[in-house]
Structure 1
Amino acid sequence: MNVQELGRILSDMYKKAPHGKQVAKIHLFGVKYANVIQRNNHSIKDIVAASGINISYATEVSKGIKLSEYVVPKD
């Protein structure tokens, strides 16, 4: 999975999030795709830039990646 694909997924998750839940969905993205991002040494800032959302959300993706060591997403 490349940066552009991850950016599209992040954008979709953000746009489809219920009002007030966008940041939680960004965290969830980090949790779900942490392995892909880390294994391929993708830049979080590049992924966020590709998504079209505010670059400041790169911090929130990073938080999700860190959380991935401790949580498992529900289906």
Structure 2
Amino acid sequence: METELKLSIAQPDLARISQHPLLTEHARATPREHRLTDTYYDTPRLELWRHGVTLRVREEGASKEGVKWIQTVKTASA
């Protein structure tokens, strides 16, 4: 099981929020920045969306090992 939390933070607030005790007390490593590119797929008639399905291909930026591609399928019940 996976739990995902997505946050949107204004750039001017990032430094202040990243120093908040709730984050610094539980940090396990130095934060790193990653470049991700997501592409979502569906049929021309949006049949996946109508059935509560999302198909995503994520490209994770170049690293020592090269580019990493991850395909994810999520359903409305997930």
What's the TM-score, normalizing by structure 1? 0.26
Which has more strand, going by share of residues?
Answer: 2
Structure number with the bigger relative contact order (C-alpha 8 A, sep ≥ 6) is 1
What's the TM-score, normalizing by structure 2? 0.26
